[in-house]
Amino acid sequence: MKTIKGPAIFIAQFIGDTAPYNSLDSICKWAAGLGFKGVQLPTGDPRFIDLQKAAESKTYADEIKGIVNAAGLEITELSTHLQGQLVAVNPVYDNLFDGFAPEQYRNNPKARQEWAVQQLKYAAKASQNLGLTASVTFSGALLWPMVYPWPQRPAGIVDTCFTELANRWKPILDVYEDHGIDLCYEIHAGEDLHDGITYEMFLDKVDQHKRACLLYDPSHFILQCLDYLEYIDIYHERIKMFHVKDAEFNPTGRQGVYGGYQNWVDRAGRFRSLGDGQVDFKSIFSKMAQYDFPGWAVLEWECALKHPEDGAREGAQFIKDHIIRVTDKAFDDFAASGADEALNRKTLGI
């Protein structure tokens, strides 16, 4: 069995314009000071990593890795969440998602998508140059505006959507295969891959591609009322990344899953800092140990109430306390009688 690596932290929600959150060197020193052992890097801010340069220059990738290592940390994975979102965008969201791309690609969906696809390909090579094994992204969404079947969906539109989604992602997945990197989709509301069934539909369309893997984040399943423990039993062979994020769902007589168009603080389902929500992390970490999860336990902080600095500090200790150092022997070894085939046959009466 393997002991999960960690704690690590996804720095996307902490990046800012003031120290220590405005440079890779300073944010790594801050994270190390809180007890983190790894950082997961978003790839959209050149202050932290120039993705194209990391793909094209092993020397530059080594420099980035050196900055992180100098703080006593490791890079866990690269994130292309925002770029992945732009691989597939329903026109209803064009204006809203334009901000995820550089200004020169806005108001031009075709150019924006081409840029996003190239970014994903850069991330595969950059991950290889950094010595990583997995990367996380979003699937994007063509069908999400029709997630609820009213008005009735046109016949065949779901199949058309997933066929197109696969056509866009299959060449990207092939690049990740070429570079030995697992591409992990974060199963997330707003994406066409938002639960197990949609993931399986996608897998069928990409011929069960070995690199089409999963990032596991139970918070998104709390908000969907999905069994997040059985999910691990079903998909553990595909789970290569792990966001440790808490959430709560408290429906009332006025509001349920859809949230009544309320802001996060007033929604029945909302994300919380670690330990403040309803996720059963003891059971999750037990299942991860049981199934030999090979990666990192990475804090993703998103909370409508608590200050991020407190969430990060508490989160580092929370993850450390939940990581199970797996045993190297069976608890009943003291009672073992040793191997004796003759005794075995005699005991069985054969």
Domain annotation for the chain: domains and CATH numbers: 5-348 (3.20.20.150)
Q: What is the rounded distance in angstroms from the CA atom of residue 280 to the CA atom of residue 260?
A: 26
C-alpha Rg value of the chain to the nearest Å: 22
Whether residue 160 contacts residue 110, with contact meaning beta carbons closer than 8 Å, is answered with: no
Residue 7, H or E segment = strand 5-10
* H-assigned helices in 102-149: 109-129
DSSP string across 271-338:
EE-TTSS---HHHHHHHHHHTT--SEEEE----SSS-HHHHHHHHHHHHHHH-----SS-TTGGG---
| Amino acid letter for position 218 | P
Digit-by-digit pLDDT tens for the chain (350 residues) are 899 999 999 999 999 999 999 999 999 999 999 999 999 999 999 999 999 999 999 999 999 999 999 999 999 999 999 999 999 999 999 999 999 999 999 999 999 999 999 999 999 999 999 999 999 999 999 999 999 999 999 999 999 999 999 999 999 999 999 999 999 999 999 999 999 999 999 999 999 999 999 999 999 999 999 999 999 999 999 999 999 999 999 999 999 999 999 999 999 999 999 999 999 999 999 999 999 999 999 999 999 999 999 999 999 999 999 999 999 888 777 777 778 899 899 989 99
DSSP string across 75-108:
EEEEEEHHHHHTTSB-GGGHHHHGGGS-GGGTT-
Q: What is the rounded distance in angstroms from the CA atom of residue 198 to the CA atom of residue 220?
A: 14
Write down the pTM of the prediction: 0.96
Helix 58-70 × helix 109-129 angle, to 10°: 70
The neighbour count for residue 347, using CB atoms within 10 Å, is 9
| Amino acid letter for position 276 | D
How far out from the chain centre does Cα 283 lie?
19
| Amino acid letter for position 122 | Y
